Amino acid sequence: MEYEIKKDGKFEYLEVGEGETLMLLHGLFGALSNFSDLIEKFRHTHKVVVPMLPLFDMDILQTSVTGLAKFVNEFIEARAYDHIHLLGNSLGGHVGLIYILKHPEKIKSLTLTGSSGLYENAMGDSYPKRGDYEYIKNKTAETFYDPNMATKELVDEVFEITRNRLKVIKVLALAKSAIRNNLESELTDIKQPTLLIWGKNDTVTPPLVGEAFKKLIPNSQLHFIDQCGHAPMMEVPNEFNSILEKFLNELPK
């Protein structure tokens, strides 16, 4: 489904539905399409908000997970969102963690899926290889349990990013920033109800990462989804949405 991208100053974002705010933070190669089933499900019960994170538009010195968390804070302040249900996938989860640690009063609940922040299989200094379509296709397919999820459209999106030298530099800067910014010692400070949804076949942030988050975040629950990789909300949207809906419905009003 096509959604209208709104603009407010420097911010571009999606906002649909009414109710408590459910804010979605995408990952390094994320796009609105990653969340399409989730948006369509929860727009009937929540105000679903997706800020377009400026992964390739920030000054190189600000291109980091902390830089993105500052951007999210500016966006939330500009739009006056409050009592937010914050959900992040991959790098978006990491950005959400940094935000909640600095601004806990704004967040009602946290959901992480395939989040970095503790450990992830880095793509390495050789990634992304410019101009090698087959390499990009294989790397994209590794994100999923079912390699057919890596459609030509999705691979083309990633490939286009990797053809731009400056974007490649920023991808590597963000990836290295995520590795350096380990939050293990701070996660015990998170008091909000936290939902962890992990693919059992996630090779980027393996199941042991989900278990580590569960151990460190006090008020958290962990759900594994079988035959599922690094982006459960894309690969198994019905099961993902069912787990999330139950979690949100059981929160104190």
Q: Over the stretch 20-54, which tens digit does the pLDDT of each residue have?
A: 999 999 998 877 788 999 999 999 999 999 999 99
Domains of the chain: 6-124+182-249 (3.40.50.1820)
Enter the pTM of the model: 0.94
Q: Over the stretch 48-87, which tens digit does the pLDDT of each residue have?
A: 999 999 999 999 989 999 999 999 999 999 999 999 999 9
Residue 154, CB-side half-sphere exposure with 13 Å CA sphere: 20
Confidence of residue 129 (pLDDT cuts 50, 70, 90): low
160: enclosing H helix or E strand: helix 152-162
Cα 181 to Cα 200: distance, rounded to the nearest angstrom: 24
